[in-house]
Structure 1
Amino acid sequence: MNRIEIKPMPGDVLSVNRGIYKHYGVYVGNDTVVHFSGGEGFELSAKRACIRKTSLENFRKNDEIQIETRCCKSYSRKETVMRALGAVGTEKGKYALPWNNCEHFANWCRYGEKRSSQVEQFVSKVGGLGLLAAGVLLVGCLKDELEDLI
């Protein structure tokens, strides 16, 4: 099966499907992505999480890249890139899967709002448990990273 290679443009919000979750970042040009990550081999580690620059290949691993779009007002591509690069090396708030994860960061860069459709979909599926309880349940699914979140 041939994969169609997409050519992201600076300012694009990218995602890669990692199985039980999607990982998000902002393409800033020159085959570079800025994303909220624990680093190589520790993508979901809350203890190690900060905003990092990495190559498009390292971001992608062997997964297919998708360009995420939303039908709402967004920053210009240049402003999106500036917001992403300006956050490199910071924690941009402590990493927290339910309210401050890689998708929240990428959406903040492009659209100015921290939002995660993955968290929202999970919360809607579990009904009245609330965002915090849903986040705890989701973290439970990621048991290898649980000790980093405590």
Structure 2
Amino acid sequence: MGQDNSHPQPGDLIEIYREFYQHWALYMGDGYVINVTPVDEGAPSLSVSIASIFTRKAKVKKQLLKEVVGNDKWHVNNKYDRSHTPRPVGEIIRLAERWIDREVPYDVLANNCEHFVTMLRYGEGVSDQATNAVDGATAAVGGIILVGLAAAVLKGFSRDSSREERRYH
């Protein structure tokens, strides 16, 4: 198991490092976490977010942390505690238990695994991962637009200078 000597406590957020993204779970105690998984029961937990992107649905599951993590690295990451007040642990666990085996909508940018566990811990779904993806996409689109405008302007200048050259020759 790829753990990094973290010692989770009930109610802690667990960040799991997948190849291209981070998967999030909430530690329930006794080695168990709650997390969103693809609706397809046959899909392995490692493909959680990838499969859910296409189905737009996920199922909340209580699973052993070691099964969800597999060989990936993970750690306790309650990073939002700096800006959000966590609910009392008993309340977090009670709320989490109500979600087990329920189907939930899934959207990688607006309602992903990180949103789900932060909603349980803080009462508000937050995801830096989604925010950064949106900001990156916005910057990329903005960059493409700027490059396109620059190309159009340069093309216009080059066309104008060609006309000028013809006029004087």
Q: Taking structure 1 as the reference length, what is the TM-score of the superposition?
A: 0.77
Query: Partners of 1:110 and 1:4 in 2: how far apart?
Result: 22
Query: Partners of 1:7 and 1:114 in 2: how far apart?
Result: 24
Residue 56 (structure 1) aligned to one of 65, 76, 83: 65
- Equivalent residues of 1:10, 1:28 under 8 A apart: yes
Secondary structure of residue in 1 paired with 2:60: strand
> Which structure has greater helix proportion?
2
Residue 112 (structure 1) aligned to one of 120, 123, 128: 123
Partner of 2:48: 43
1:22 positional shift: 0.3
Partner of 2:34: 34
1:77 positional shift: 1.4
Is structure 2 residue 28 aligned with structure 1 residue 16? no
1:3 positional shift: 6.3
Query: Partners of 1:4 and 1:31 in 2: how far apart?
Result: 15
Query: Partners of 2:66 and 2:9 in 1: how far apart?
Result: 15
What percent identity do the matched residue pairs reach?
25
Listed as ranges, the gaps of 5+ residues in structure 2 are 142-169
Query: Partners of 1:3 and 1:18 in 2: how far apart?
Result: 13
Query: Partners of 1:100 and 1:126 in 2: how far apart?
Result: 17
Aligned residue pairs total 128
Listed as ranges, the gaps of 5+ residues in structure 1 are 130-150
Residue 136 (structure 2) aligned to one of 125, 131, 144: 125
Deviates more, 1:118-127 or 1:38-47: 38-47
The structure-2 alpha-carbon separation of the partners of 1:50 and 1:4, relative to structure 1 and needing over 3 Å to count, comes to closer
The structure-2 alpha-carbon separation of the partners of 1:50 and 1:124, relative to structure 1 and needing over 3 Å to count, comes to same
Partner of 1:76: 88
1:15 positional shift: 0.9
State the 4+ residue runs in structure 1 displaced beyond 6 angstroms: none
Secondary structure of residue in 2 paired with 1:49: strand
The structure-2 alpha-carbon separation of the partners of 1:77 and 1:52, relative to structure 1 and needing over 3 Å to count, comes to same
